[in-house]
Amino acid sequence: MMNYFHRQVQLWGEERQELLQTKKIAIIGSGGLGSSLAFALGASGIGEIHMVDFDEVSLHNIHRQIAFTMEDVGKNKAQINTAVIQKRCPYTKAIPHNTDFLGWSKKEIAVDLIIDATDNLPTRAEINSYAKEKNLPWVYGSVEAFHGQVAFIEESSFSDSFKIIDKTPAGIAAPIVMHIASLQANLALRYLADLSVKKDLLYYLFFNNEGELVTQKFGLPKETSS
């Protein structure tokens, strides 16, 4: 196993690599962000990854959802991503769930971290509520056009920070999806490997009209007591 993860072991040693083998995560959504996360985290040595999605691959998904090929149209996204992880890494157990987030949450599966790879605010509010109930941290990510947002949420509340509306996503450029998923994966991997992570901070990345990549960060408010 250590030979497989040689370059990571060079980075943080065998003890942290063995620690990753004890960790379990859930990736909610197996499309654009989800399939990029499956590639980024599926071969990192995390012990167990739950891929959650009820959706099937459509033709218009393939250009930005890197796990899928033309032959996958009509197949369940979570199952495809799970198969990709298992083929790439024999040291990670990948489990598909053909359901939405609420359906998965009712299974009461214990995980160390939830990663949001959805595309709508109402589901993120559900993830936030579940995470608070289970005392779990989660990693938020969203993309649209040429911009995206990432946050590691622990004490702050997504529902207090964002207006929860049901909005149809606008157009999107494929590379920003992989960029945001990569940032989510880095936050997740640092946390799972017991490295320092700045929590409850929203990173907002965008290309301005001159084509410059701009990164801003904002502190998220802590959850208000009911």
Q: What is the tens place of the pLDDT at every residue in 109-154?
A: 999 999 999 988 899 999 999 999 999 999 999 998 899 999 999 9
- Assign 157 a pLDDT band (cuts: 50, 70, 90): confident
d(CA 197, CA 188) in angstroms, rounded, equals 9
Task: Indicate the CATH number for domain 6-219.
Answer: 3.40.50.720
d(CA 212, CA 51) in angstroms, rounded, equals 34
Supply the pLDDT for residue 158: 76
Supply the pLDDT for residue 222: 81
Query: If you search the block for the tokens 């063995």, which residue do you land on?
Result: 18
CA distance readout (Å), 60 to 67, 118, 155, 173: 13, 17, 37, 12
Looking at the chain, the whole-number percentage of residues with pLDDT higher than 90 is: 86
pTM of the predicted protein model: 0.94
Q: How many CB atoms lie within 10 A of CB 204?
A: 15
